[in-house]
């Protein structure tokens, strides 16, 4: 990978990592469902008027918009609102990698190798250790909500694979059309009219920055660059860089919110990242080892 492209990839993983902290900043003033709804409203408009609809079946665009906007980011924002730290949210969401492997096996009949089973088992150990953290950065409801978000993420990965779209930027813009209304309905059902009134009253530079950061560098620019790199280079060269997202996420939460990284949290994070590395590189290393023998 060229140096400039490597820098872009590192920049996007950094943006995706610290985005969790900026979501938390926005949640100090904005209802979680409204925050996510505004995010995807601005992802769709005004771009949808200038960007051609991707040439794929409508059901993929619709289902992705619901799962990505509501099931993933709406629920993850709610999880952060209910007390899980931004750093831990960024780490736990990586469980979506393993859920994707399981779903691909169930829905696409893809084989789950022994190496990937080992990786998933190790990740579950790390998750069990996270549950035992008692420093206030983990809440059970927050953890459950982020895990639901991880499951939604795995479904969106399957949709992308089955849909076969090559223009992810166009796909993202058009799919975002179907996220805001369900999110605004959820905001009304859970908080009533007052949450909309509070949004207008409480909107300040911090809230605006949180929304803008989620829309432009995180969603639109981030996925455009990442997709471009995947088309330019082998997936095996690009995807492993995603391992940096939780590292940047934890670091961002530490510096912005002074989240303490105690021994148990450090051990749990290390275990999950090792599991992700085994999932990503394990089979190739094993094959090379067998050839060496």
**210-259 pLDDT, tens digit each:** 999 999 999 999 988 887 887 787 666 677 788 889 999 999 999 999 98
CB 243 within 8 A of CB 280: yes
What pLDDT is stored for residue 133 in this prediction?
83
- Look up residue 48 and give its DSSP letter: G
Among 121, 74, 88, 80, smallest CA distance to 102 is for 121
Pairwise pLDDT comparison (169 vs 173), residue with the higher score: 173
Q: pLDDT band for position 282 (50/70/90)? A: confident
Query: What does pTM read for this prediction?
Result: 0.91
Computed from CA positions of residues 120, 121, 124, 125, in that sequence, does the dihedral angle turn out positive or negative?
Answer: negative
Distance (Å, whole) CA 86 – CA 172:
24
Number of domains the chain is built from: 1
Going from the C-alpha of 235 to that of each of 67, 232, 241, 251, the distances in angstroms are 24, 9, 10, 26
pLDDT at 192: 94
pLDDT of residue 218: 96
User: What is the tens place of the pLDDT at every residue in 176-207?
Assistant: 999 999 999 999 999 999 999 999 999 999 99
Residue linked to tokens 């060229």: 2
How do residues 50-71 score in pLDDT, each as one tens digit? 999 999 999 999 999 999 999 9
pLDDT digits (tens, 9 = 90+) for 72-122: 999 999 999 999 999 999 999 999 989 988 998 999 888 888 998 999 999
pLDDT for the residue numbered 236: 60
Domain extent at residue 276? 3-291
Contacts by residues 186-195 (CB-CB < 8 Å, ≥ 24 positions apart): 186/33, 186/70, 186/74, 187/31, 187/33, 187/34, 187/37, 190/33, 191/31, 191/33, 195/31, 195/33, 195/34
Q: What pLDDT was estimated at residue 205?
A: 96
Q: Are 91 and 129 in contact (CB under 8 A)?
A: no
């Amino acid at each position: 990978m060229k140096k400039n492209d490597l820098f872009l990839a590192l920049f996007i993983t950094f943006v995706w990592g610290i985005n969790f902290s900026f979501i938390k900043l926005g949640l100090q003033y904005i209802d979680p469902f409204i925050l996510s709804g505004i995010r995807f409203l601005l992802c769709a408009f005004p771009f949808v008027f200038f960007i051609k609809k991707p040439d794929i079946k409508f059901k993929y665009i619709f289902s992705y918009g619901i799962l990505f906007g509501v099931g993933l980011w709406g629920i993850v924002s709610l999880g952060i609102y209910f007390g899980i730290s931004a750093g831990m949210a960024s780490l736990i969401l990586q469980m979506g990698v393993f859920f994707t492997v399981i779903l691909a096996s169930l829905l696409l009949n893809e084989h789950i190798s022994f190496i990937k089973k080992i990786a998933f088992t190790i990740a579950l150990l790390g998750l069990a250790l996270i549950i035992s953290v008692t420093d206030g950065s983990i809440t059970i409801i927050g953890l459950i909500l982020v895990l639901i978000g991880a499951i939604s993420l795995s479904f969106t990965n399957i949709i992308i694979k089955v849909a076969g779209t090559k223009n992810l930027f166009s796909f993202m813009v058009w799919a975002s059309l179907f996220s805001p209304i369900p999110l605004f309905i959820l905001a009304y059902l859970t908080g009533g009219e007052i949450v909309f009134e509070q949004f207008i009253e409480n909107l300040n530079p911090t809230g605006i920055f949180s929304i803008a950061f989620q829309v432009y560098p995180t969603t639109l620019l981030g996925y455009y660059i990442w997709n471009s790199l995947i088309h330019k280079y082998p997936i095996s060269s690009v995807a492993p860089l995603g391992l940096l997202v939780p590292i940047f996420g934890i670091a961002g939460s530490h510096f912005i919110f002074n989240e303490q990284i105690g021994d148990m949290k450090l051990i749990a994070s290390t275990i999950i990242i090792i599991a992700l590395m085994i999932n990503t590189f394990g089979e190739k290393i094993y094959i090379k080892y067998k050839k060496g023998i």
